[in-house]
Amino acid sequence: MTSFVAACIQMRTGRNPLENLDVCEALVREAAAEGAVYVQTPEMTNVLERSRKAQLAASSFEGADPFLKRLGILANELNIWVHIGSLAIRLEDDKLANRGFMISPRGEVVARYDKIHMFDVDLPNGESWRESESYSAGSVSPVVDLGVAKVGMAICYDIRQPALFREQSKAGAQVLTGPAAFTKQTGEAHWHVLQRSRAIENGAFVVTAAQGGTHEDDRQTYGHSLMVDPWGRVIAELDHDEPGVLLGELDLAKVDEARRRIPAIENARDFSVATVSLSGEMVR
């Protein structure tokens, strides 16, 4: 069997983690009832809060996080893989990790991923974000063998870093991910082209669950949870910013087909970059 059903859970996470957990559980159950064996939630599934102090207060240490406990039980009950796009996890130094988790059908956490690339930007509409002030960046990019597929873990802003996804693909990833809380402004400008580009470059599926709508802290996120096939075609999309479930069938034979037709990974070569001055002098 080369095909399986995947699901993205689109949320509008607020300030109360337990309320968010109830919403998340209901949507995961809905996805499983529709046949999904892999269910992905968005970035910051547990709590979204603009205030660093309030975000820290609302977050738990990993061992005490209610999402991990309940979604582990749920994965086991439903016999599915649950990919928590990320949770705000409290660390010992009063900082946070933006941490994704892969939970097996046995209810066990088999992989963790701390977001590597921090969203430190000033946008044209006046929005300013400094993720590095609150979160500790990770340094390891996991590819997880689920049996049905090899899945690369990434988070949101990582999608703008093609090298990360190329390395995952070289390591065997067939499905790339970028669970997100994309701003409305950047989503309208770049969401689809970024997801499609990562799929085309690597001949891989890209599956991304998203946050959507106006949140309790007044931020606006884009929604539009998306699945793209290895040829760059959108095969499923929630064309709105409301909470919901997106389902899609992923046929891994299409990964092999795309990589045979355009063997970009196989054809890649090591190289160096040289700069050339106005005098014509080349500097390596």
Half-sphere exposure of 65 (CA within 13 A, CB side): 29
User: Which of the pair, 115 or 122, is modelled with greater confidence?
Assistant: 115
pLDDT of 170 > 70? The answer is yes
As a whole number, mean pLDDT of residues 120-142 equals 80
Q: How confident is the model at residue 211 (pLDDT cuts 50, 70, 90)?
A: very high
pLDDT of 163 > 80? The answer is yes
pLDDT of 118 > 90? The answer is no
Residues annotated as catalytic are 43, 115, 156
pLDDT of 87 > 80? The answer is yes
pLDDT of 129 > 80? The answer is no
- The reported pLDDT for the residue numbered 283 is 72
Q: How confident is the model at residue 134 (pLDDT cuts 50, 70, 90)?
A: confident
What DSSP assignment string belongs to 100-163?
Answer: EEEE-TTS-EEEEEE--S--EEE-TTS-EEEGGGTB-------EEE-SS-EEE---GGGGG-HH
Q: Is there a contact between 168 and 155 (Cβ–Cβ < 8 Å)?
A: no
For 51-64, give one letter per residue: b (16+ CB within 10 A) or e: eeeebbebbbeeee
The rounded distance, in Å, linking the Cα atoms of 31 and 20 is 17
pLDDT of 261 > 80? The answer is yes
Q: How confident is the model at residue 282 (pLDDT cuts 50, 70, 90)?
A: confident
As a whole number, mean pLDDT of residues 69-83 equals 98
pLDDT of 280 > 90? The answer is no
